């Protein structure tokens, strides 16, 4: 913990890996491309889960669990789906010592098996809408992996809904996109662009895909959540039908949407600095860490007594941890908790006890500027208020960074330069060939087509033909 991190500005990628490992968010697993989510990282993920799950429940969704294994034939039923996932599958061929007659796919996503069950469960319009979410692990055989951002196995939630009408399904698709946006902005303090994916970037099997796109500290984009309008593609492939009020058989309209452990990576890359993580208070496993400071046994008694008073005062209002380990110095603890990104540190020393105060030190504001002495009496209110300020300030800082790294280039040269540092909002002709050329020439991909489009879209940034829409491009993780 003592060694310094590679500075973020020097080598962002090395910095990222070091932070994730040293803050003990995750570790490499003994299987290629897989990771272990360590307790501190898992607590962060559990807070992300809680924030999302609450929003799902509030909008009428329920959780369920579908099987890990999918018959290979299921994946083949939807043409685009099989094409999209075939190169990424992990396949079980042996079970109980026997070669299996039909190999089983370890789910890369559950549209197919859930489609199969929905066909069985849904009988009439009374069964609709069916709004189910699943928290699960999925596996995609990835060539180049990176902790949290791209791993062979990852954790996620996948929502799968079935509706009587196209309109309802489209509405649901956007509702969930906006829930993701709301979570990202208000819980993770990550500003996002929202919009529709281009045809070449959409989910295999979807009619339309939508995403939330965030900018990381190095200017690269990260897709942090997706929501798909699947039309009747999966309903037709899996025969998901219902009897309408006129007793006529109709195909359902379905959606799916997901957020994964990638979100942990986003939190690291958006907020962290050269000292390590900076966690938004709403997601931080510990929002406050108390570090007692003393030089002898007499001081120790008084200081720890005051520290316990603070812990008691904070109970029920904030997630606080008292670090009373004897084997480490206060300075070592400061560094350790800074690395782990605890938003607020409470220092309690003998002079503080005498003065009836404690010192609050903000993780996001280094040095003296982030420190403030507050009276012991009002510590609960002060801490709660300070955490709320930190949450707000982190979002503002990230928003400022995002806005400063979003350009509207006038020429392809400007465009090519802009996407090396952030987002470029640029007109596009709509031709997939042009999109592919942009990607090859600049390494930037289309991230999403924002909802609010100008009336006059101008001409394609690359080919000069009439533009069909204005698109956000960026180099992406």
Binding site for a copy of itself (CB under 8 A): 27, 29-31, 34-39, 41-43, 45-46, 62-71, 74, 86-97, 103-104, 106, 113, 116-117, 120-121, 126, 132, 136-137, 139, 141-143, 152-153, 155, 327
* CB 149 within 8 Å of CB 247: no
Q: Is there a cis peptide before residue 255, judged by omega within 30 degrees of 0? A: no
Q: In the numeric block, which tokens belong to residue 161?
A: 């809904």
In angstroms, the Cα distances linking 361 to 116, 147, 172 are 54, 30, 43
Q: From the CB of 457, what's the least distance to a copy of itself, in Å?
A: 40
C-alpha distances (whole Å) from 472 to each of 106, 278, 396 are 34, 27, 21
CA distances to 120, 178, 216, 417 from 398, rounded to whole Å, are 46, 19, 9, 21
What is the widest separation between alpha-carbon atoms in the chain? 83
Cβ proximity of 4 and 17 under 8 Å: no
Q: How far is the CB of 30 from a copy of itself (least distance, A)?
A: 5
How far apart are the C-alpha atoms of 385 and 212, rounded to whole Å? 29
Give least dist CB 344 to a copy of itself, A.
21
Whichever of 141 and 412 has its CB closer to a copy of itself, that residue is 141
Instruction: Work out how close the CB of 416 gets to a copy of itself at its nearest, in angstroms, rounded to a whole number.
Output: 32
Distance (Å, rounded) from C-alpha 145 to C-alpha 20? 14
Q: What is the dihedral of CA 25, 28, 30, 35, to 10 degrees?
A: 60
DSSP, collapsed to helix, strand or coil, labels residue 117 as helix
Identify which of residues 113 and 361 has a Cβ nearer to a copy of itself in the complex: 113
Q: What is the DSSP string of 164-192?
A: SSHHHHHHHHHHHHHHHHHHHHHTS----
Least distance in angstroms from the C-beta of 326 to a copy of itself: 10
Judged by CB, which is closer to a copy of itself: 155, or 221? 155
Q: Please, which residue, 88 or 232, has the CB nearer to a copy of itself?
A: 88
- Give the nearest distance from C-beta 66 to a copy of itself in angstroms: 5
* Complex with a copy of itself: residue 101 or 456, whichever CB lies closer: 101
Cβ proximity to a copy of itself, 42 vs 210, nearer residue? 42
- Find the shortest distance in angstroms from Cβ 151 to a copy of itself: 9
Query: Please, which residues have CB within 8 angstroms of residue 19's CB and are 6 or more apart in sequence?
Result: 5, 25, 268, 272, 276, 277, 339
Cβ 176 to a copy of itself shortest distance, Å: 17
Token pair for 164: 């009587």
Integer angstrom CA distances of residue 23 from 17, 82, 104, 158, 275: 10, 39, 37, 28, 10
Residue 167 CA: distances (Å) to CA of 157, 171, 195, 229: 24, 6, 18, 10
* Residue nearer to a copy of itself on the CB measure, 37 or 346: 37
User: Shortest approach of a copy of itself to residue 29 CB, angstroms?
Assistant: 4
State in angstroms the smallest separation of the CB of 87 from a copy of itself. Answer: 6
Q: Which of 275, 270, 269 is nearest to 16 (CA)?
A: 269
Q: By C-beta, is 143 or 369 nearer to a copy of itself?
A: 143
Closest CB to a copy of itself among residues 55, 197: 55
Our measurement of the distance from residue 280's CA atom to the centroid of its chain's CA atoms, rounded to an integer in Å, reads: 13
Least distance from a copy of itself to the Cβ atom of residue 133, Å: 9
221 or 342, CB closer to a copy of itself? 342
Of 69 and 401, nearer to a copy of itself (C-beta) is 69
């Amino acid at each position: 913990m003592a060694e310094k991190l590679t500075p973020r500005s020097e080598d962002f990628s090395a910095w990222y890996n070091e932070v994730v490992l040293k803050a003990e968010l995750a570790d490499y697993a003994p299987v290629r491309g897989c990771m272990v989510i360590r307790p501190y990282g898992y607590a962060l993920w559990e807070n992300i889960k809680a924030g999302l799950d609450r929003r799902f429940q509030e909008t009428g969704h329920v959780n369920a669990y579908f099987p890990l294994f999918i018959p290979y034939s299921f994946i083949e039923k939807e043409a685009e789906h099989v094409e999209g996932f075939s190169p990424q599958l992990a396949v079980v061929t042996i079970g109980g010592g026997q070669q299996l007659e039909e190999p089983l796919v370890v789910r890369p996503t559950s549209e197919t098996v859930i489609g199969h069950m929905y066909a069985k469960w849904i009988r009439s319009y009374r069964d609709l809408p069916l709004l189910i979410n699943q928290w699960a692990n999925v596996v995609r055989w990835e060539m180049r992996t990176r902790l949290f951002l791209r791993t062979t196995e990852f954790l996620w939630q996948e929502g799968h809904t079935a509706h009587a009408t196209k309109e309802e399904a489209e509405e649901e698709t956007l509702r969930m996109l906006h829930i993701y946006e709301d979570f990202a902005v208000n819980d993770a303090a990550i500003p996002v662009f929202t919009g529709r994916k281009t045809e070449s970037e959409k989910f295999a099997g979807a009619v339309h895909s939508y995403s939330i796109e965030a900018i990381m500290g190095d200017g690269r984009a990260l897709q942090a959540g997706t929501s798909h309008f699947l039309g009747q593609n999966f309903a037709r492939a899996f025969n998901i039908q219902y009897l309408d009020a006129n007793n006529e058989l109709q195909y359902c309209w379905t959606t799916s949407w997901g957020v994964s452990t990638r979100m942990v990576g986003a939190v690291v890359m958006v907020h962290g600095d050269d000292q390590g993580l900076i966690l938004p208070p709403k997601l931080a496993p510990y929002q406050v860490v108390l570090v007692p400071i003393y030089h002898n046994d007499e001081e120790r008694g008084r200081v720890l007594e005051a520290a316990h008073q603070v812990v008691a005062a904070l109970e029920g209002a904030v997630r606080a941890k008292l670090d009373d380990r004897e084997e480490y110095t206060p300075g070592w603890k400061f560094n350790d908790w800074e690395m782990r990104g605890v938003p607020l540190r409470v220092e309690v020393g003998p002079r503080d006890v005498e003065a009836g105060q404690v010192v609050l030190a903000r993780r996001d504001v280094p040095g003296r500027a982030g420190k403030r002495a507050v009276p012991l009496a009002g510590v609960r209110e002060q801490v709660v208020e300070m955490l709320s300020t930190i949450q707000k300030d982190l979002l503002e800082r990230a928003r400022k960074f995002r806005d400063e790294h979003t350009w509207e280039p006038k020429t392809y040269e400007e465009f090519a330069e802009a996407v090396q540092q952030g987002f470029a909002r640029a007109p596009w002709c709509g031709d997939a060939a042009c999109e592919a050329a942009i990607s090859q020439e600049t390494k930037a991909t289309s991230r999403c087509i924002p909802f609010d489009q100008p009336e006059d879209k101008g001409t394609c940034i690359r080919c000069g033909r009439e533009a069909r829409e204005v698109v956000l491009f960026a180099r992406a993780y």
